[in-house]
Amino acid sequence: MSLELLVVLLLILGAEFVNGWTDAPNAIATVIGTRSLSPRSALVLASVFNLIGVMSGTAVAMTIGTGIIDPAAVNLATVGGAMTGIIIWSTVAARWGIPTSESHALVSGLAGAGLASAGPSVLLWAGWKKVLVGLVFSSLLGFGAGLVFMLAIYWVFRKAVPARVRGLFRWLQITSSAMMAFSHGSNDGQKFIGAFTLALVLGGGLKAFEIKLWVILLCAAVMAMGTSIGGWRIIKTLGGRVSRLKPQHGFAAETAAAGTILLASAFGIQLSTTHTISTSIMGVGSVRRARAVRWTVAREMAVAWIVTFPICAAISWAAVKLIALFGGPLS
């Protein structure tokens, strides 16, 4: 393995670690927020089902690795620059406790770095079309599914004793949290695996774009490590700051988000799991009453999602230009 390739692979793992801070906690935020599981138990559940989800397919990894920018027009500096942008922006956002989207950061980072390396022709419309579809999935379907699930639960259990409802949904939410972790792995967990494999191809470590089992296991382990060390700020935001949740609300939000994500994964559509679970929580909260959702927090999150695109693209573009200007192992 060359020094250039090693540097880029370490940057990708660094970005995956940061992904553990910001995106992976989504799967367990509500189950901890409602106290259906302890943080330690929730972390074990998320790690196991994230890994199972990651190994369930490679469609999203293929989209990231071959569909966003033209692999034939870029080099290791492109991938390294993209990862630098992701690490810088996501670390700053995580310090503020803002659940940014690693999906948005990754595609915008690849775009900015690709533009710096090869110009506008490097962008591939087929992959970006899936990115746009993913935005619709995560926003409209996430919110709508959360709202519908919560309405259905209210109607089915309208005559039930509240204490029994909470007891039932405490156990059901553990199941929905596992489903959310699995769906996260099936979509978000694959994204940096795609970037890792792309770097291996560009660096000569692989002759063709082929997802290796050791890459899956390595990336999943690094993501789980990031969640265990730095994910608690995001868990606090999603678990209670957006809308105060009870087990039945957490179950509805997780089930709605997981179903949306799994549908996207089946078509190789990469979307933001942060975006999806957040809008699902908003949909669930809005059923109770509009004021049940803390819209100021929701607005802060929406601004973070929007600014991620230009900020990550700009940092990644600048990183590639600096590599070219000063030289180094990636130039």
Query: pTM for the complete prediction?
Result: 0.84
Instruction: Please name the residue that has the structure tokens 């669930």.
Output: 284
**Banded model confidence at residue 237, pLDDT cuts 50, 70, 90:** low
Residue showing tokens 């803002």: 98
Residue 231 — very low, low, confident or very high, per pLDDT cuts 50/70/90?
low
Average pLDDT over residues 51-72: 88
pLDDT band at 230 (very low <50, low <70, confident <90, very high): low
Long-range contacts of 296-301 (CB under 8 A, 24+ apart): 297/237, 297/241, 297/242, 298/242, 300/98, 301/98, 301/99, 301/237, 301/242
The pLDDT value recorded for residue 151 is: 93
| Res 31: pLDDT | 77
- Give the confidence band of 209 by pLDDT, cuts at 50, 70, 90: very high
Distance CA 178, CA 193 (A): 21
Average pLDDT score, the chain: 84
3-class secondary-structure state, position 246: coil
What confidence score (pLDDT) does residue 282 get? 83
Categorize the per-residue pLDDT at 165 as very low, low, confident or very high, splitting at 50, 70 and 90: confident
pLDDT for residue 317: 96
Judged by average pLDDT, the poorest of 38-42, 216-220, 289-293 is: 289-293
If pLDDT is split at 50, 70 and 90, which confidence band does 97 have?
low
Tokens standing for 89?
A: 């922006």
Residue, of 323 and 305, whose pLDDT is higher: 323
The reported pLDDT for the residue numbered 91 is: 80
pLDDT at 138: 84
Average pLDDT over residues 226-248: 63
Phi-psi region of 70 (alpha: psi -120 to 50; beta: other; left: phi over 0): beta
Of residues 295 and 215, more confidently modeled: 215
Tell me the mean pLDDT in the region 18-28: 71
> For residue 204, what pLDDT is reported?
92
Yes or no: say if 12 and 110 are a contact pair by the CB < 8 Å rule: no
Q: In the prediction, which pLDDT does 99 show?
A: 59
* pLDDT the model gives residue 218: 93
Average pLDDT over residues 244-267: 87
The pLDDT value recorded for residue 150 is 92
**Whole-angstrom distance, CA of residue 325 vs CA of residue 331:** 9
**Cα-based angle 128, 134, 136 (whole degrees, multiple of 5):** 115
Helix (H, G, I), strand (E, B) or coil at 197: helix
